[in-house]
A and B are shown apart, each in its own frame.
Chain A
């Protein structure tokens, strides 16, 4: 009986020690390009992301073929001419929540977060930084952030014939519905 109790306590302790990771497989990333000629939006609702509430390590993985554009032709150009998704099917971001120690996951509320890391896309890796918000509610965290990327930084060439239709800088909006990982 005592042994069972000890075992139960040990099991509970191990859960509290190891269940510090939050995960989503249905996060959303929106690309938005705005020019006087045309506004273009692409949505990806199958973004996977995991972060560790102790260390602050955070990782995102996005398959580029999951981006949906309003026009099929735009989607085709995005995949074939710009991100070349047959050759580079995935983009990843690996980084840190730099102010993780200021977050209290046991207390519901909104916490500003500073994220910095390395974004790999189209075979190029660059440092990126973004300010965001983590809304903690029970076992869930709604993470939101917005930042700008310049396609040319990732060696993505926009032909001059469509240059006036695609913004120099693309706005990236990230919305992640994390849940505590039960592994």
Chain B
């Protein structure tokens, strides 16, 4: 019994992180719709999108790439803010390119934020 508890505790302690890339997306949404939803009513948008793994379709506005990954912004109705997609690996995307990005939505901070992104 003690052993079972110890093994369970050990497995819990070392359980893996959420596998966003391997998880099936719960929804597909357009970048502009996602952004407008957040701008209009952040709390309601969080009800719908927060913590979801989703696919976002949009157009690349810019890509800041370093050796530690890429931060890609998808264009929206706003001139400056949009959907910020955080990639743990550098990706080769150019502004104007149409993309489908899968990521984990962590909320709204000037931009809508997707982390652990992969290209679809």
Cα distance A85–B109 when bound, in Å?
Answer: 14
Knowing A46-B86, A65-B50, A86-B50 are in contact, say whether A25-B15 is a contact too (CB < 8 A): no
One digit per residue, 1 when the CB lies within 8 angstroms of any chain B CB and 0 when it does not, for chain A 143-178 equals 000000000000000000000000000000000000
Are the C-beta atoms of A86 and B51 separated by less than 8 Å?
A: yes
> Does A181 count as interface, using CB distance less than 8 angstroms?
yes
List residues of A (52-87) whose CB comes within 8 Å of B's CBs.
61-66, 68, 71-73, 75, 86
Are the C-beta atoms of A63 and B109 separated by less than 8 Å?
A: yes
Prevailing SS type, chain A contact patch: strand
> Does A115 count as interface, using CB distance less than 8 angstroms?
no
List residues of A (1-44) whose CB comes within 8 Å of B's CBs.
23, 25-26
Chain A residue nearest to B69 in the complex (CB):
A45
> Does A113 count as interface, using CB distance less than 8 angstroms?
no
Within 8 Å by CB of B108, from A50, A63, A75, lies A63
Minimum CB–CB distance from B117 to chain A (whole Å) comes to 11
> Does A47 count as interface, using CB distance less than 8 angstroms?
yes
- Interface size class on chain B is 20 to 34
List residues of B (1-26) whose CB comes within 8 Å of A's CBs.
12-18
Chain B residue nearest to A67 in the complex (CB):
B106
Chain A residues, Cβ within 8 Å of B84: 25, 46, 48
One digit per residue, 1 when the CB lies within 8 angstroms of any chain A CB and 0 when it does not, for chain B 40-77 equals 00000010001100000000000010001001010000
Are the C-beta atoms of A25 and B108 separated by less than 8 Å?
A: no
Knowing A26-B71, A183-B79 are in contact, say whether A48-B17 is a contact too (CB < 8 A): no
> Does A89 count as interface, using CB distance less than 8 angstroms?
yes
Are the C-beta atoms of A90 and B109 separated by less than 8 Å?
A: yes
Chain A residue nearest to B86 in the complex (CB):
A46
Knowing A62-B109, A66-B115, A90-B108 are in contact, say whether A45-B86 is a contact too (CB < 8 A): yes
Knowing A73-B12, A75-B17, A86-B51 are in contact, say whether A25-B106 is a contact too (CB < 8 A): no
Cα distance A45–B71 when bound, in Å?
Answer: 10
Knowing A46-B115, A89-B46 are in contact, say whether A72-B86 is a contact too (CB < 8 A): no
Are the C-beta atoms of B109 and A61 separated by less than 8 Å?
A: yes
Knowing A46-B86, A89-B50, A183-B80 are in contact, say whether A25-B110 is a contact too (CB < 8 A): yes
Binding site for A on B (CB under 8 A): 12-18, 46, 50-51, 64, 68, 71, 73, 79-80, 84, 86, 104, 106-111, 113, 115
What are the nearest 5 A-B pairs in CB distance? Answer: A61-B109, A65-B106, A63-B107, A89-B107, A63-B106
User: Could you give 15 example pairs across A and B, Cβ below 8 Å?
Assistant: A25-B71, A25-B110, A25-B111, A26-B71, A46-B86, A46-B109, A46-B115, A47-B109, A61-B108, A63-B109, A66-B86, A68-B17, A72-B15, A73-B14, A90-B109
